[in-house]
Amino acid sequence: MSIRQFSIITIFSSAMYILLANAGGVPQAVTKAPGESNNNSCATCHTPAGSFNASIGLQVLNSDNLPVLSYNPGEVYTVKVQVSGTNNPKAYGFQLSSQDSLTTNDLGIWSEFGERVKQQNLTVQGKQRKYLVQSAAKTDGIFTAKWKAPNTNVGKVKFYFSGLAVNLNGNTNGDNNAFGQL
């Protein structure tokens, strides 16, 4: 093998690793929301053979920082996702969507993304959906953003979310994931 062939293979391998290791967000919907592929989960790419168990929780907080289970039209809430795991995972990631419980259309407007949080648009069954994802893995597993409720009462809103606890071993083996909905 020539040096040129070796360089091309090395560049290709590095590019593939970057594409597969999505510390900055997932390339497909993995929250288990309606319409998403039942086969898609964090485990699609991350082998869940880690020695830790992942868990995930979500809180919707009002302006007094108190948890709520319903919304007032047009009000802004803080949404807080917390991913954790046993046996000391090195970092965490997440994905989250807010949808009408009947139509599965996006509901609400996301803003004021917390540290290492970004919005990502993904296509699910021909529809564009807004997802929040990590822009980079976080060691404390806490991700926040502001969510503005719809301006009129449109009925029940469901939040679908998934989290990933990772070992940062340089590949996707030994990580573990969790799912939830509120």
pLDDT at 56: 96
pLDDT at 144: 98
Residue written as token pair 């939830």: 180
Tokens of 123: 């296509």
- The alpha carbon dihedral of 59, 22, 91, 89 has a sign of positive
pLDDT at 63: 97
pLDDT at 135: 94
pLDDT at 182: 93
Low-confidence ranges of the chain (pLDDT < 50): 4-21
Task: Name the residue among 119, 78, 124 with its Cα closest to residue 103.
Answer: 124
pLDDT at 149: 97
What values do phi and psi take at 68, rounded to 5? -130, 155
pLDDT at 104: 84
